[in-house]
Amino acid sequence: MPLSHPTDDFRLAYDRHGEPGAPPVLLLHGWPGDRTDMGAVAGRLAGSHDVVVPDLRGFGHSDKHDRDPAEAYSAAAQARSLVALLDELGLSGVVVAGCDVGSRVGQQLGLDRPDLLRALVLTPPAPGVGPRILAEDPMREFWYQSFHQLDLARELVDGDTAATRAYLRHFWSHWSGPDFTPGDERLDQLTAVYGPPGAFVASVGWYRAGGGVVARSLAETVPDPADRIAVPTTFLWPEHDPLFPRDWSDRVGEFFTDVTVTPVDGVGHFVPVEAPDAVAAAVSAATAP
């Protein structure tokens, strides 16, 4: 497991699969996960791509610092570390595939450094939700984002292995599709990286920095056409995601110049884990000549 050179004093742990010189791919996990969320996708791509799979700042085996979240864990901060990693590895023309937090960070890369990217392959969240986030059903689902803002989250969860495991199990069970159940081995692995003191709080630095869907949806404004993300983008939209119903895909064209929404039936929020073939196929299509 190599570590990147530090950016803002953060080093990223990452895995690299495949052969240097093949079409490059960057796979970005979400919350509450780590880089192993992308393991099955990486395995399907390794024979024909150069695949880099990092832990984002504050996750997995990457550095976790108790810093001002707005400075250390925002989308822009996460993107800085990834740009530095790509530069360190000498990669450009990259297809970035992201889920959950990784999707938002991928979108930030598309805004900040489109010159480094060939395409984006993303799962929700997507922009365009707007005030629909305040309806009764969505607010019932997004309670955790307000909880993550409280010091109580640190007091109740951080450093408590049993509480961490129960908290993670709730989301992996509730957000997944009807045919997926997180196994004990998976939960044990995630508990091992989220359970140590400071690890859970670092992981929710994203939300404390304003990266959550509720804050972003209420603050978003439709960009001028010249300011839309111009990198070709595919959204893989799952059927059974309780957070992001498919009708919330109706406005993505207001934020992207070249975007396609592709339904993925039978699965929930964790598309790279539940349907790795779909993600790998979309990435391969984006790298095809």
Q: Just list the catalytic residues.
A: 100, 207, 269
Rounded Cα distance between 120 and 233, Å, is: 5
Residues 6+ positions from 153 with CB-CB distance below 8 Å:
147, 200, 201, 204
Helices (H) and strands (E) in the chain, counts: 14, 7
ω into 125 cis (within 30 of 0): yes
How far lies 258's CA from each of 218, 230, 231, 255, in Å? 24, 6, 7, 9
Distance CA(270)–CA(141), nearest Å, equals 16
Neighbours of 218 (CB within 10 A): 12
CA-CA distance, 211 to 85, in Å (whole number)? 21
For residues 126, 203, 106, 181, the Cα torsion angle rounded to the nearest 10 degrees is -60
How far is 252 from 130, CA to CA, in rounded Å? Answer: 11
Measured between alpha carbons, how far is 89 from 61 in angstroms, rounded to an integer? 19
Cα separation, 178 vs 266, in Å, equals: 7
Q: Which residue has the tokens 């969860």?
A: 157
State how far the Cα of 25 lies from the Cα of 94, in Å rounded to an integer. 5
